[in-house]
Chains A and B, each alone.
Chain A
Amino acid sequence: MHQALLTLGFGLVGAAILSLSALAFTLEYSVTNVANLSHGEILTVGAYCAYLVQQHGGGVILSGLAAAAGGGVLALAVHNGIVDRFVRKGIGALPTFIATLGVSLIIQNALVIIFGASNLGYTVPQGAPRNVGPFLWTDTEIQIMVSAVVITVALYLIIQHTRFGKSLRAVSQNRSLASVSGINAHRVAALTWLLAGLIAGYAGFILAESIGTFSPYSGFNFFLITLTASVAGGLGKAFGTLVGAIIVGIALEFFGGYLSSSYNLAFAFALLAVVILVRPRGLFVGGRRSIFG
């Protein structure tokens, strides 16, 4: 029982990182209807930004901010440079999806050329593990989880209680109707991608922090799990995605803890295959069409 609780504790850390990544991915999808296959690279770029800042003597807070900024700039660039142009041109969702795969290839290999393909170490003083209730967490892990909760709450408040959030919900429900109602859908989508990029960049930073190493491919590998969580929970629906991410994050930790962690990804996709066959629209998608419904 004690062991199970410890595993749950570690699972919560993984779930926190996964939640942020999956929320960002679902936000990108909700306003453009394009599943962004270069989402993983936003995390990777975030991790590299944090790494560079750390190399120049920056602290944890500065590194986190740099990661968010790097991710935000990249997401905005992908939206304005590729996705929005393609949408304006009337190129459909699937070809744009393929194009983002090309973008992913470009960024990944640009990073390989600049930084090399091997793993880079990202070490922060973790602090000694502490007992928090039945769980055992280091300071870094507590920082990861607290920041994830704060960001999620802030995101909820932005979406539900600001003017921008209202237009975001409108665009995600019906883009053309929102446009004729006087909302600048392109601008709302761009801002949403910027917001998603900030979150994803930060997720890349805490991912590198918790694993301790990263490479040009770590973002893409983590993206595969992100994809599983958000599609299983309900693509484009923030609440479903959040629940999906928490469940997948914890399930992976249990699976990896008791069986073999090399099969983690295989397990995640097997889970997704079952979910998608039973409920193609996602597990936790209610009748309401709102993004936080």
Chain B
Amino acid sequence: MIDYIVTVLTEGSIFAIMALGLNVIWGWSGDFDLAYYGYVALGAYMTLVLSIGPAVDPTTYILGLTLPFPVAVLIAILSSMVLALIIGAIALRHLRGIYFSIVTLGAVYVLYIFAGQFVPLFNGFNGLSGLFDPMGAFFGIDFASYEYFYLGVCVVALIAVLIVLTRLNSSRFGLALRSIREDERAAAAFGRDIYRTKLKAYVLGAGVGGLAGGLFAGYLSAFNTSAWSPVETIILYAAILVGGRGSSRGVVLGVAVMVIGLQEATRYLPEVASHPSFAPALRLIITGVVLVLFIRFRPQGILPERRLRDKDPTGKGDAQVAVEHQIAGPTLDTGTA
């Protein structure tokens, strides 16, 4: 039983970090990015090739440097950010709305195909394996208590991400980002550099995704193309939408309900004979239904983004009303194509 709780909490923390990264891109910046899971996957792949040994015949992959796990994760985060910088620089310059989504969808499929087909890179569709209990030997932790240690690592990472994002959210950068989300033209008129601000958010979100990917690789000890697909992004979107787009508390709640809750609720379904894909398919159907219903009936989610208050005590009255009116949480529609 305790093992079960540890597993759920570890997975929950990792998925929460994943969703928080996407929330920066979609919740704050308002870009419906379909490439996001590509950054998570790249983080996982890079962590593995950096921390496991060199390739042994018949496997082939790049690097194999046997670096310490934290260093590997750091470099993995950087590589996800570099990839996001390239894709974001192309996609964010002129494209908004569905055109942006289509180009990012293309980008992630290119990545997915290369990861699965181009064997010299990450060993093709067989993928990478062999990262057992990272940091376990260094801290002298035995096999039995390792899972508690790794849960601790993931929870600490989640809390760190939450603190950093909460601070950023109320910083000038966070405010600029949300003003752009609400009205790009108005924000430009007030002197915001739309492209650079959005690109910064995009790269930041991808970095958080890379961190989640690294932790995920350490947890799974292996990664391949059957462990991820571009569709996973939709599950993260469903979690954000249910919890409350733009709100960090909401996103964590959304992951608890839509990723962990749904998975555990359907885990013990009676296995339909000769139908191994019944439970996963049912999960995806429920995800789809929830997605449609929330967009229609509660687009702000269960715990909506908090309205900003005017902190200037002299500005009570009309000014405060005006500010609240202007930034009243996310409206789902962010501009047209």
Binding site for B on A (CB under 8 A): 35, 82, 85-86, 89, 91-99, 101-106, 108-110, 112-113, 116-117, 224, 227-228, 231, 260, 262-263, 265-266, 268-270, 272-273, 276-277, 280
Do most interface residues of chain B lie in helix, strand or loop, or is the interface mixed? helix
Minimum distance in angstroms from B308 CB to a CB of chain A: 23
- Across the interface, A116 reaches (CB within 8 A) one of B113, B237, B275, B299, namely B275
- Across the interface, B101 reaches (CB within 8 A) one of A92, A97, A110, A262, namely A97
List 12 additional contacts besides A97-B101, A231-B102; criterion CB under 8 Å. A35-B102, A93-B98, A101-B291, A102-B234, A103-B288, A104-B288, A113-B278, A262-B117, A269-B107, A273-B103, A276-B102, A276-B103
Do most interface residues of chain A lie in helix, strand or loop, or is the interface mixed? helix
Q: How many residues does chain B have at the interface if contact means C-beta atoms less than 8 Å apart?
A: 44
Which 3 A/B pairs are nearest by Cβ-Cβ distance? A92-B333, A269-B106, A102-B291
Minimum distance in angstroms from B305 CB to a CB of chain A: 16
Most buried by A among B117, B238, B289, B295: B295
- Across the interface, B332 reaches (CB within 8 A) one of A82, A95, A260, A266, namely A95
Whole-angstrom CA separation of A102 from B233 in the bound complex: 12
The contact sample of 23 A-B pairs, CB cut-off 8 A, is: A92-B333, A92-B336, A93-B333, A96-B295, A97-B98, A99-B291, A99-B296, A103-B292, A104-B288, A105-B234, A105-B287, A106-B292, A109-B282, A109-B285, A113-B275, A113-B278, A117-B281, A260-B117, A262-B113, A265-B109, A266-B110, A268-B106, A277-B90
Instruction: Give B221-239 as 1s and 0s: 1 = Cβ < 8 Å from A's Cβ atoms.
Output: 0000000000100100110
Q: Provided the pairs A91-B296, A266-B114 are in contact, do residues A109 and B288 lie with their beta carbons within 8 angstroms?
A: yes
Minimum distance in angstroms from A20 CB to a CB of chain B: 20
Q: Is the CB of A272 within 8 A of B277?
A: no
Most buried by B among A95, A101, A106, A112: A101
Minimum distance in angstroms from A114 CB to a CB of chain B: 10
Query: Cβ of A273: which chain B residues have Cβ within 8 Å of it?
Result: 90, 103, 106-107
Instruction: Give B154-181 as 1s and 0s: 1 = Cβ < 8 Å from A's Cβ atoms.
Output: 0000000000000000000000000000
Q: Is the CB of B109 within 8 A of A108?
A: no
Q: Is the CB of A98 within 8 A of B287?
A: no
Whole-angstrom CA separation of A231 from B102 in the bound complex: 9
Query: Cβ of B95: which chain A residues have Cβ within 8 Å of it?
Result: 276, 280
Q: Is the CB of A98 within 8 A of B32?
A: yes
Query: Cβ of B296: which chain A residues have Cβ within 8 Å of it?
Result: 85-86, 89, 91, 99
- Across the interface, B109 reaches (CB within 8 A) one of A86, A96, A98, A269, namely A269
Whole-angstrom CA separation of A224 from B275 in the bound complex: 28
Instruction: Give B94-123 as 1s and 0s: 1 = Cβ < 8 Å from A's Cβ atoms.
Output: 110111011101110110011001000000
B337 at interface, CB cutoff 8 A: yes
Whole-angstrom CA separation of A103 from B90 in the bound complex: 29
Query: Cβ of A269: which chain B residues have Cβ within 8 Å of it?
Result: 106-107, 109-110
Q: Is the CB of B288 within 8 A of A106?
A: yes
Whole-angstrom CA separation of A98 from B294 in the bound complex: 11
Q: Provided the pairs A262-B113, A272-B106 are in contact, do residues A94 and B32 lie with their beta carbons within 8 angstroms?
A: yes
Whole-angstrom CA separation of A260 from B118 in the bound complex: 11
Q: Is the CB of A91 within 8 A of B110?
A: no
Query: Cβ of B337: which chain A residues have Cβ within 8 Å of it?
Result: 93
B284 at interface, CB cutoff 8 A: yes
Instruction: Give B304-337 as 1s and 0s: 1 = Cβ < 8 Å from A's Cβ atoms.
Output: 0000000000000000000000000000111111
Q: Is the CB of A106 within 8 A of B333?
A: no
Minimum distance in angstroms from B195 CB to a CB of chain A: 14
Q: Is the CB of B237 within 8 A of A109?
A: no
Whole-angstrom CA separation of A104 from B291 in the bound complex: 11
Whole-angstrom CA separation of A82 from B295 in the bound complex: 11
- Across the interface, A113 reaches (CB within 8 A) one of B106, B281, B333, namely B281
Q: Is the CB of B102 within 8 A of A112?
A: no
Whole-angstrom CA separation of A265 from B275 in the bound complex: 30
Q: Is the CB of A91 within 8 A of B113?
A: no
Whole-angstrom CA separation of A262 from B90 in the bound complex: 25
Query: Cβ of A93: which chain B residues have Cβ within 8 Å of it?
Result: 97-98, 333, 336-337
Q: Is the CB of B281 within 8 A of A112?
A: yes
Q: Is the CB of B289 within 8 A of A102?
A: yes
Q: Is the CB of A82 within 8 A of B288?
A: no
Q: Provided the pairs A94-B333, A224-B105, A266-B110 are in contact, do residues A109 and B299 lie with their beta carbons within 8 angstroms?
A: no
Q: Provided the pairs A93-B333, A93-B336 are in contact, do residues A224 and B285 lie with their beta carbons within 8 angstroms?
A: no
